Amino acid sequence: MHFKLVIPLLLFMTFLIMSCDNDNSYRNNTDKKHGKDQQEKESLIKVNRYLVNSENTEIDNYINRHKLEVTKTGSGLKYQIVKHGDGEKAVTGKIVTIEYIVKLITGDVIYSSKENGPLSFKVGHGGVETGLEEAILQMRMGDEAIIIIPSHLGYGLLGDGNKIPQRSTIIYEIEFTNIN
């Protein structure tokens, strides 16, 4: 009679031991996957740092070649007011109008108000590059400026799907002509 109880008990204990072993195997696989995910994450971070440093070097070279005296904001935007106006200062919620030339950092002109007309937009409500809005908030009507917008404040990883390639620094030469 004891024999009939011992065999099921031994089978049950064997099953438990194997289950625990499989649980450790699961943990080991999870730990290995986590380690692999961490390595991939670190690799992506290194590549991203490299790309950001390369873009910053390219921007610094542009500034030096053109002998610009730029102001840098905390976000990485760089701008220089080349002519000071005496009009009203831009504020969030106002509609501003600018005349502009947009270039790639290579100097290639890609958009201009001569071709497309002046650009009007409501400050703080999107619809234009984050870097352009940030720069406008530093300006007054009548100002003329050169604005260097790094890719993360412009069109980012994808570009604009038209003339601005992915991860492109863009340069705006603008004249702030109106505010409502």
SS (H, E, C) 59-88: HHHHHHHCCCCCEECCCCCEEEEEECCCCC
pLDDT tens digit string along 64-89?
Answer: 999 999 999 999 999 999 999 999 99
Strand partners, 111: 102
Answer for the pair 90, 76: CB distance below 8 angstroms, yes or no: no
Domain ranges within the chain, ordered by starting residue? 1-65, 70-179
- Tokens 């001569």 belong to which residue? 114
The model's pTM is 0.76
pLDDT tens digit string along 108-129?
Answer: 999 999 999 999 999 999 889 9
CATH for 70-179 is 3.10.50.40
CA atoms within 13 Å, Cβ hemisphere of 78? 18
